[in-house]
Each structure stands twice: as C-alpha cells, then as structure tokens.
Amino acid sequence: MNQGQTVFSQIMHYLPHKQFCQCVDRYKGNQRVRSFTCLDQYLCMAFAQLTYRESLRDIECCLRAFASKLYHMGIRGHVSRTTLADANENRDWRIYRDFAHILIQQARTLYKQDDFGVELDQTVYALDASTIDLCLSLFPWANFRSAKAAVKLHTLLDLRGNIPTFIEITDGKVHDVNILDILIPEPGATYVMDRGYLDFHRLYNIHQSGAFFIIRKKTNTVLHRLYSRPVDKTTGLHFDQTVTLVSPKSKKDYPQNLRLVKFHDPDSGKKLAFLTNQFSLPAFSIAQLYKCRWQVELFFKWIKQHLRIKAFYGLSENAVKTQIWIAVSVYVLVAIIKKHLRIDLTLYTILQVFSVTLFEKILISQALAPDFYKPRITSECIQLKLFDS
C-alpha cells in the first residue's frame, strides 16, 4: 500500500545510506559543512539526471517549485545554484566514485545469472573508451588537441546485465591501451577488446594472470602459422589457426603461441580476424563473444543520450568527475530497481517515466505497470449519441 512517498523518495530508498556515509567520512566530505551536506548534493544531482535538467539554475527553479516536498525527498539543505556549484567544485569527487562502485557490486550480484547470448559460465568483459568533447577555453585542464579539450571515459562492461565494473576518467590525450596498466585482470574471465588495445606486452600480462583475451588483429601484425583446425565455413568462419609472432620485439613481448580466428560477419559484410589465448572454446564462440563487444558501444551511446554527461554544470575537473560518477550511479541504481521489482521494460522507458513522475505519490510498480502502456479497447462504443438514428 502506498504510504504517501513520492516516486523520487522510493527510488532513493534503494540507496545504501550507511555505505554512502562511510564514503563521505572517508574523504571528510561534510567537514565544516553547516547545512548543504553531501547527501543533499547527491540527491539534487540525481534529480537533475533523472529529469534531464540543463543547468544549475534549471535545477534550482524546479526544486524550489516543490519546496514543500523537498524535506520528504531527503533534501534537508537550502537549494541554490551557488551552493550546489560550490559543492560540485569543492567536495571530493572520489566520494561518488566509491559510492558508485558499491552500487555496481550490488548490481553485479543481481545480474550474475543473466544470459548475454553466449553459453559461458565465466565472466565476460568488454573494454572500450569514449571521448566526451569539451570547449578548450572553458575546460583548459582537459588536454586533447591544440584547439579542442576532451575527457575520456574508459569503461569495463560486464556483459551480464551491461553493468560497468571499472571506469577511469582521464583527459583526452591518454591512449586507450594505457588503461591495461591499471586494470587488474580477473583469473578465468575473458576480456574482449578492439584493436586499439593491441599491445603484446600488456596482453601477455593478462595471459600470465590466468585471464583470457579476444582482440582484433591489426593488418600489419605478422604471424607464422603452425597448424590449422577444421571449421564449418557455412557459419561464416574462414579458418582457425594456431600461430606465433614473427617480429623479434613482438615475440619477446609475447613468447607463447596465439590462436587466430577469421570470421565473415554477415551483418556488416566485413571479414574480421581475432587473436586470443583461449584455445578451449569453439571458433564460432570466439566470434560470438567479440560480437557481444558491441554492448559497450551501446552503453556509451545510451548514457550520452539519456544522462547529463555532455553538458556539464561546472567547469573544474572535480565538478566534471563528480557529475559523471553520479550519472553512472544513477544508471546503476535504475538497473538495480529494474531487477528488484522485476520490471519488464527497458532502462530508457523506465527513465522516461521517472522523469515525469518524480513528485507523484504513486508506487513505482504502479507507474511502471505494463497495463499502463496497453490501450484499452472495448467492444462496445462508449461515445454518447447526440442524435437518435
């Protein structure tokens, strides 16, 4: 039974508040803070993400319009754009990074049994990066090019549920492959990557960690075929070979044999060649796993379209990272609610409904009920008759 809580309050009920306070205490986020706490800041920024607010003034106007409901939404401090701007500027962004990782662990537990299209017991990750362009005159700290600034969002996506498990925010000049230096491989897991991550020294570190990788081969990579395995060419496979590197430097960086699988993708018409240290799976499964890597591209597209990470509320590095990490935590929170309530709707649909019902006193399950989206058609005409026939 609805106890009179707004939809926003019900959404925030799924936040682990004890762990949030631990993150705040770890970085002394509320030190010398009189009224507008880190929780107030997080709730205001989460509201902005859920309702697609364009600016700090926009956030201030919308929240003040419902001032009588803010206390029951959990916002205790006075909402103003200057206070929120100062909080984004000065509160340590690592508070929200650590909190997002707590939500990520909860989501991974909920989605660990989900199917992602390939029958495999081990965890499969897709690694990629996306560039968010910025104005150089406004964001001079975000080095990228001579006339453009940018930040890069390096993301490791768990394909079970499409949950981001690792995120690193850097300036635009950092090359994608450098992320492999700080990534700690999970033994037994498979990492699917594009050819931008092809560095044999770093790939050998993954191999020695007991993890597997699948990566696209570059055209200039010279290989020597040792032997071939039979393949079913009706599935699109061209060959399945065991190879070794030829270049002295590459062979020094990766001294062991590799597996080379070539596949013709019927959807794009391209011929793709994959290098992997995974020798136990069928060749067609290798091609399928690489095809699943497209989920990380869809993840980037989704959050850029439906979360506020392209228009920023602050100009400093701290403000930008704070906004990105809160956006990620909101994405994961919606995924958690979807799983808890067993909602059979896309995240896009859920966010659209939330954006117009946050101040309504209606149960989330009722607002997202499937019957709400089905037109009710009656067999009899219910239009009043103005004239008798």
Question: CB neighbours of 354 closer than 8 A, spacing ≥ 6?
Answer: 7, 11, 50, 334
Q: What mean pLDDT comes out for the span 292-318?
A: 84
Instruction: Report pLDDT digits (tens) over 216-263.
Output: 999 999 999 999 999 988 888 999 999 999 999 999 999 999 999 999
**Span 131-149, average pLDDT:** 88
- 38-96: per-residue pLDDT in tens? 999 999 999 999 998 989 999 999 999 988 888 888 898 889 999 999 999 999 999 99
pTM for the full model? 0.86
At 213 the pLDDT is 96
Predicted confidence (pLDDT) per residue in 262-292, tens digit = 998 887 788 899 999 999 999 999 999 998 8
Q: How far apart are CA 284 and CA 297, in angstroms?
A: 22
Least confident of 13-22, 66-75, 113-122, 202-211: 113-122
Cβ atoms < 10 Å from Cβ of 114: 13
What is the pLDDT, as a whole number, of residue 113?
A: 81
Helices (H) and strands (E) in the chain, counts: 14, 9
Q: What is the spatial distance between Cα 59 and Cα 74, in angstroms, rounded to a whole number?
A: 16
pLDDT score at 42: 96
